């Protein structure tokens, strides 16, 4: 399993590999079946600099979350984590 994780990590930009905590901070909730919504989330970067991004939730049972970072010179979908059962909990693919 760790081999798969290592391979996934190698695909990440360097600044993401330096992030110590992959904990999501959800501000607000959305329930399954609700219209797509935008939430503000944040990573805690190694130097405690929060990297804020928006996630767009599709109204499906196993929703796909497309992530865009608000980060200098970077605006691209980086991951597609899965949401399982509750919109308040995100399970990152590869974790």
Domain range summary for the chain, segments of one domain joined by +: 2-91
13 confidence band (pLDDT: 50, 70, 90): low
In this structure, the strands spanning 37-44 and 65-69 are: unpaired
pLDDT band at 40; cut points 50, 70, 90: very low
CB 28 within 8 A of CB 18: no
CA-based nearest residue to 87, from 37, 31, 34: 31
Q: Name the pLDDT band for 10 (thresholds 50, 70, 90).
A: low
Whole-structure pTM value: 0.17
């Amino acid at each position: 399993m760790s081999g798969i994780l290592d391979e996934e990590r190698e695909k990440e930009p360097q600044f993401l590999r330096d992030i110590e905590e992959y904990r999501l901070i959800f501000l607000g909730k959305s329930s399954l079946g609700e219209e797509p919504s935008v939430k503000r989330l944040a990573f805690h970067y190694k130097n405690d600099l929060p990297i804020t991004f928006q996630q767009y939730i599709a109204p499906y049972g196993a929703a796909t979350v497309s992530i865009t970072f608000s980060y200098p010179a970077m605006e691209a979908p980086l991951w597609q984590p899965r949401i399982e059962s509750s919109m308040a909990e995100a399970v990152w693919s590869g974790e």
